[in-house]
Amino acid sequence: MSEITVAEVDVRRVRDQIVDVREDGEVTEGMIPGAIHIPLGQLAARVGELDRERPVVTVCRSGKRSALAAEELSGAGFRADTMGGGMTAWQAAGLPTS
């Protein structure tokens, strides 16, 4: 697991799975286009929704929960990274949200 920049995620989002682990109320503030929303507390139960053959980038508000999610996914056999700075950094960089 590595922490990657928002610029790297912007490039990788066209081929990798972006998993937003924020809670339901938080994603109303905007998500990375194409991201899959799975709250951190549901990740273990919903891991089957993810493709083990494709890398995963986890995202949260600031990067703390997404680091935990990336560790969990790495332990489950996924190639997982976390986006440093979370959606706060993504939005500060002026990158698109849906």
Distance CA 62, CA 36 (A): 17
Instruction: Point out the catalytic residue in the list 56, 60, 69, 73.
Output: 60
Contact 19, 49 (CB under 8 A): no
Q: Which amino acid is at 20?
A: D
Give the C-alpha separation, 67 to 29, whole Å: 20
d(CA 75, CA 27): 26
- Would you call 60 a catalytic residue per the annotation? yes
What positions carry a catalytic annotation? 60
